[in-house]
Amino acid sequence: MIQQQTVLKVVDNSGAKRVRCIKKLGKLKQTNAKLGDIILVSILSLRNKLKKTSKVTQGSVFKALIMQTKRKTQKKDGSTFFYKENISCLINKQGKPVGTRILKPISKELRKKKFLRFVNISVGFF
């Protein structure tokens, strides 16, 4: 579960390294974000030492899609799975990814939630 002030790792090639969650977008009553939810984030640190080559700047605000969480997630067949770290991917205002590649495999649950554009540019899925 991702709450406000949670620090996430970015796995696309947009130039951001770490982001902090500002707010969960969508349903108002839910305060925690799960796998496949969209959140509003602020960029904490950049991946490149050369700031000219990155597509984002430090302190800017973007939307992000949550791709992996440490919290256990249960499938419909009863099996559970979890990951080692919280991972996200940056999104622009039109809902398209900021980067052109995703550097880690993503789960099949994102494919079921109609995020096919992210599945196409990723390394693979499991």
Average confidence (pLDDT) over 40-49: 88
More confident site: 114 or 1 = 1
Domains of the chain: 7-100 (2.40.150.20)
36, 115 in Cβ contact below 8 A? yes
pTM here is 0.87
Following DSSP, what letter does each residue of the chain receive, concatenated? Answer: -B-TT-EEEE-BTTSEEEEEEEEE-S-SS--SB-TT-EEEEEEEEES-S-TTS-SS-TT-EEEEEEEE-SS-EE-TTS-EE--SS-EEEEE-TTS-BSSS-B-S-B-HHHHHTT-HHHHHHBS-B-
Sign of CA dihedral 85, 118, 32, 34: negative
- State the chain's mean pLDDT as an integer: 87
For residue 47, give every residue at least 6 positions away whose Cβ sits within 8 Å of its Cβ, in sequence order, or none. 10, 15, 16, 17, 54
Instruction: Give the tens place of pLDDT for each residue, 4-38.
Output: 999 999 999 888 999 999 999 988 778 899 888 99
Rounded CA-CA distance 24/82 in Å is 21
